[in-house]
């Protein structure tokens, strides 16, 4: 029988830490090791494969942006400040106009988030982009998946389900402004770096939403040995998604919960921190929405405003899912 993505990682790669300088090993958004000065180094890597992580017709500029953004999103989830990148590029052929556009956008992304490209690798093969990002975090401030406690409030940044909808509508011949905006959410995700840095002073638990809220919140619950209830009527939806769907009630909740590619942060924190969170929300002009609560137990329950149970028809994205 085929083995799923997360079982595969556990079975073949998740070995107990042998060295004392590994502060946090496999299983979180980033690993943590001692860094320069008294700070810790947060390290993550993410691969984008053509036809899997982006449609084959995606522009080189969008691919470059996304390769940086998905990695910085993992740094954001730890509350780490981006510092360095490496880039491993696998190309079917050295197409210089493609490379020019890719490189320009990569440079722009690196400048914008103040990270420096310090190395990489270049090979021939099916188009695949692997970025490794390294960031710095003060000791004790990294936000981890295993730090949720019953009674904590669950928040998400921004809006969910936009990119998944963008993926569905991208082949339309004609797009209105709302649909273009949704497609842009797929191609140009914004890592919530500043949010991660600011909330890490009082928030201990966070994950970035790459595979869909249901799956990624599930990783927090598994690591923290907790359960949760989430109200699907509280899920933050963009005006554009609501308009495209023809009203709030027509939005496909399964797509919002499991579509993936949101690159928003899911924050789990003491409800007493709400005021500080709202101050950050207005300073960053970024909505932060309370969607649920951490509980004891091990189940993730979805309810609506009437208290009725909602059963998602699928979980989030998993490579090798059977
Ligand atoms: P994320 O979605 O935050 O990028 P993943 O779901 O890809 O994280 O991976 C989950 C955890 O497993 C992470 O800590 C990641 O570093 C680790 N991981 C994934 N693949 C491998 C591998 N082949 N070898 C070692 N660790 C891995
Ligand atoms: Mg992540």
pLDDT at 113: 97
Strand order from edge to edge, sheet including 40-49: 31-34, 40-49, 128-137, 81-91, 116-124
Q: Which atom of ligand 1 is nearest to the CA of 74?
A: 3
28 close to ligand 1 (CB < 6 Angstrom): yes
Atom 17 of ligand 1: nearest residue by CA position: 26
SS3 of residue 145 by DSSP: coil
Q: Which helix (H) or strand (E) holds 117?
A: strand 116-124
The answer, yes or no, to whether any atom of ligand 1 lies below 6 A from the CB of 26, is yes
From the CB of 130, is ligand 1 less than 6 Å away?
no
Q: Is 190 in the pocket of ligand 1 (CB under 6 A)?
A: no
Average pLDDT, the chain: 95
Q: What is the largest CA-CA distance in the chain?
A: 57
pLDDT band at 18 (very low <50, low <70, confident <90, very high): confident
pTM of the prediction? 0.96
Q: Is the CB of 12 under 6 A from ligand 1?
A: no
Residue nearest to atom 10 of ligand 1 (CA): 27
262 lines ligand 1 (CB under 6 A): no
Residues 6+ apart with CB under 8 A from 33: 21, 22, 23, 40, 41, 43
Distance (Å) from CA 182 to ligand 1 centroid: 28
Q: For residue range 113-158, what is the model confidence (pLDDT) as tens digits?
A: 999 999 999 999 999 999 999 999 999 999 999 999 999 999 999 9
Cα 141 to ligand 2 centre (Å): 17
DSSP 316: -
Mutation to probe ligand 1, out of 9, 66, 318 (largest number of atoms < 8 A from CB): 9
Q: Give pLDDT tens digits for 73-89.
A: 999 999 999 999 999 99
Cα dihedral 63→65→68→74 (10° resolution): -100
CA atoms within 13 A on the CB side of 250: 10
Is the Cα dihedral 308, 268, 319, 3 positive or negative? negative
Q: What is the spatial distance between Cα 200 and Cα 291, in angstroms, rounded to a whole number?
A: 19
CB atoms within 10 A of CB 37: 8
């Amino acid at each position: 029988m085929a083995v799923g993505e997360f079982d595969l990682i556990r079975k073949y790669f998740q070995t107990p830490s042998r060295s004392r300088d590994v502060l946090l090993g496999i299983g979180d958004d980033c690993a943590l090791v001692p860094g320069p000065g008294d700070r810790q180094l947060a390290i993550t890597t993410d691969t984008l494969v053509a036809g899997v992580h982006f449609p084959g017709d995606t522009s080189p500029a969008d691919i470059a942006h996304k390769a940086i953004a998905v990695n910085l999103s993992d740094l954001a989830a730890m509350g780490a400040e981006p510092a360095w990148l490496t880039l491993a590029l696998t190309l079917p052929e050295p197409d210089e106009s493609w490379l020019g556009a890719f490189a320009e956008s990569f440079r722009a992304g690196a400048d914008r988030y103040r990270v420096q490209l310090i190395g990489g690798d270049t090979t021939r093969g099916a188009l695949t982009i692997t970025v490794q990002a390294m960031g710095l975090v003060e000791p004790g401030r990294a936000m981890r998946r295993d730090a949720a406690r019953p009674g904590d409030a669950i928040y998400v940044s921004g809006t969910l389900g936009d990119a998944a909808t963008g993926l569905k509508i991208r082949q339309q011949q004609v797009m209105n402004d709302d649909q273009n905006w949704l497609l842009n959410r797929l191609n140009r995700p914004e890592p919530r770096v500043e949010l991660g840095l600011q909330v890490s002073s009082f928030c201990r638990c966070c994950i970035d939403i790459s595979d869909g809220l249901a799956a990624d919140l599930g990783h927090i619950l598994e690591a923290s040995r907790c359960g949760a209830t989430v109200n699907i009527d509280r899920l933050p939806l963009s005006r554009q998604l609501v308009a495209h769907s023809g009203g709030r009630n027509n939005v496909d909740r399964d797509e919002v919960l499991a579509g993936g590619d949101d690159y928003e942060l899911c924050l789990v924190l003491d409800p007493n921190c709400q005021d500080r969170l709202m101050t950050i929300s207005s300073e960053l002009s970024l909505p932060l929405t309370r969607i649920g609560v951490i509980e004891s137990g091990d189940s993730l329950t979805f309810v609506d405003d009437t208290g009725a149970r909602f059963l998602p028809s699928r979980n989030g994205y998993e490579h090798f899912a059977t």
